[in-house]
Amino acid sequence: MEVRGKSSIHQLKLVSERQKAVDILMDSGQFADKVLTGGKVINVITREIYEADIAIAGNYILMVGDCKALIGEKTQVIDMKGKFLSPGFIDSHMHFESAMLTVTEFSRLSIPTGTTCLISDPHEIGNVLGPLGIKAMCDEAALMPHHVHSRVPALCPDSPGLETAGVDIDSRDIPEMLEYPTVSGIGETQGVTAARDVYEHNPGVFRDTIVSTVYAQSCGKKVDGNAAELFGNELAAHILAGGTEISCHETTSKAEAMEKLRYGVYMLMREGSTQRNMSECIRAITEENMDSRRAILATDDMLAEDIAKTGHMNDIIRRTIKAGVDPVEAIQMATINAATWQGFSDIGVLAPGKLADIAVIKGNLEDMEVSEVFLSGQLVAQDRELKIDLPPYTYPDSVKHSVKRDPITPEDLLVACPGKNKAVVRCIGLILDQNLSEAVESEMEVVDGFVQPDLDQDLLPIAVVGRHGQSDIGTSFVKGFGMKHGAIAETVSHDTHNIMVMGTNYEDMALAVNRIIELQGGLVLTKDNKIIGELPLRVAGLITDELSASELTDQMRHLTSLAADKLECKAHAPFMHLAFLSLTTSPKWKITDKGVVDAQNYCILPTIKS
């Protein structure tokens, strides 16, 4: 039979590899390349653990069981006695930009923890640079030794009229972007998160999203949803707009989890650095005994220093076990469940013909301490050290000049309220470890026509300064950081990534913003009209290709310590927490370059209520 078509080379290679595997199994004179002996195999198909060998030929598993007959003179025998053998872990939804690292440097941290597959959503860089930025990140992802898949945004910005992106994206861009390397579908459909209000105030977004998702699914691609706090007809409308078979990583309550599972949504239980929802979601399974096949673990947003310190998906599994889930069931949520949702037929289980992606766990299974990692049969990491060469990656100059803004003055950041001594001000309330926020109304002093910061009430000035060529600046106050000195500014500001700045005084805030402009993106801390810390992020103002993973981790630890010690900021992970206060698709009140946003009613609110 003649094999034709664009995948013919892959098909012929697979025929050859499978024939070779059959020959080794059937011919007593042929042997495996490697055999892992005496380990405790975690069978995520049957939810069992039992002692068995794993025989490997080339990239693939030959068999799991008694493999003594497959050991020849040249077979590499690796003793796994006392260790657990698990399929490699899958992170089903994540953003490299949140770690501020290139794909390469993120992988340098992640692979040794047992994560062998990543589903990346590059809509952060897409909001800044459009298809140009997305293509640049996909090009890097295609060079990785493990499985890195990308999802492209259906819409940028997510809330047209409420925020300003660097480049607008809609359904007209989807056909091109779906052809980029590593792209496996459309990313989180945030444009229709606030389903009712979007339908009432901007119904064209629904139509455009449906056009995009129908086209993507006609090409065999997946679609990720974003159904934060949706129930009933609103949830149903969101599911339909996404193409009927979607995931959602924005579930924050047991009630949400139950309804989404009943609707067939693949529930990605988020457990990242500052957004931790797994313990609430998992209650649908531990308390209500709901089927866990569509319950999947994902991180969404991870800081590099957290991965370096506690791990990646192995740590998320560890937390899930501590929440009362059986260890093998927890591992299913990062292996077979994820692979089933993604449509991956060659990973996620340890079985004949599957890729030999294996995470080896030593000690107690509950501790999830990964000692070795095999990728397509090759030992790629041991004792948290990468064993393969992963050259640093440098991005093209075309993605490094994204801050289009003239310097500002302290006066540009003031909240005007002429003719009053006091005012009721709409402020943003930080909620730790969530991307949700509170709607806070506070009575504040007005002096010379401007609202005054109130550090005693923990009401700090906050602003979003446009950096995509627009002059807009949104201003208000934020409660929850407890900061006593200085200012923090950054170009990481979800999802349109204008310049976010918060401080105790306007002079330090303006200084921080202007330094960000000079750097062409990054993080800056100021105090007493001096710059006390900075981190350039020149790739779209979001990531660095100038630092290794370990170097960035050290710098972020230093900046976080400065925020705590010098600025006396009480919130942990202050940069990530601050960055989510402009996320317009997540309730309740947020701030963008347009002003205070009521995310639940799809509108801009005046900062001054009365």
pLDDT attached to residue 522: 98
Crossing angle for the helix pair 103-110 and 549-565, nearest 10 degrees? 90
With tokens 């006609």, the residue in question is 218
Q: Which residues contact 399 (CB under 8 A, 6 or more apart)?
A: 125, 129, 132, 133, 136, 539, 540
CB 115 within 8 A of CB 88: yes
With tokens 């007005």, the residue in question is 446
Reported as a pLDDT band with limits 50, 70 and 90, residue 7 is low
Of 515, 396, 513, give the one whose Cα is nearest residue 464.
513
CB 495 within 8 A of CB 97: no
- Model pLDDT for residues 216-262, shown as the tens digit of each residue: 999 999 999 999 999 999 999 999 999 999 999 999 999 999 999 99
Q: Which residues contact 11 (CB under 8 A, 6 or more apart)?
A: 3, 5
Query: What separation in angstroms does the CA of 56 have from each of 37, 336, 421, 481, 514?
Result: 11, 20, 76, 52, 57
- Angle at the Cα of 43 from the Cα atoms of 37 and 47, rounded to 5 degrees: 145
Residue 156 has φ and ψ, to the nearest 5°, of -140, 130
Half-sphere exposure of 29 (CA within 13 A, CB side): 0
pLDDT at 2 over 60: no
Of 442, 379, 387, give the one whose Cα is nearest residue 415.
442
Beta bridge partners of 589: 598
Reported as a pLDDT band with limits 50, 70 and 90, residue 8 is confident
Which amino acid would we find at residue 59?
N
Reported as a pLDDT band with limits 50, 70 and 90, residue 6 is low
Of 139, 148, 149, give the one whose Cα is nearest residue 108.
148
- Model pLDDT for residues 66-84, shown as the tens digit of each residue: 999 999 999 999 999 999 9
Q: Which residues contact 518 (CB under 8 A, 6 or more apart)?
A: none
Distance (Å, rounded) from C-alpha 523 to C-alpha 502?
12
- Angle at the Cα of 97 from the Cα atoms of 92 and 100, rounded to 5 degrees: 125
Q: What average pLDDT score do residues 9-29 get?
A: 94
pLDDT attached to residue 10: 85
pLDDT at 170 over 70: yes
- Model pLDDT for residues 516-554, shown as the tens digit of each residue: 999 999 999 999 999 999 999 999 999 999 999 999 999
Distance (Å, rounded) from C-alpha 233 to C-alpha 378?
49
Q: What average pLDDT score do residues 170-179 get?
A: 98
pLDDT attached to residue 1: 41
- Model pLDDT for residues 109-158, shown as the tens digit of each residue: 999 999 999 999 999 999 999 999 999 999 999 999 999 999 999 999 99
Distance (Å, rounded) from C-alpha 210 to C-alpha 216?
10
Reported as a pLDDT band with limits 50, 70 and 90, residue 434 is confident
Say if strands 603-605 and 595-598 run parallel, antiparallel, or are unpaired. Answer: antiparallel
pLDDT at 5 over 60: no
Q: What average pLDDT score do residues 363-376 get?
A: 98
Q: Which residues contact 216 (CB under 8 A, 6 or more apart)?
A: 174, 178, 185, 186, 222, 223, 243
Say if strands 89-94 and 115-120 run parallel, antiparallel, or are unpaired. Answer: parallel
pLDDT at 3 over 50: no
Looking at per-residue confidence, does 4 or 206 come out higher? 206
Torsion of CA 266, 317, 357, 146, to 10 degrees: 70
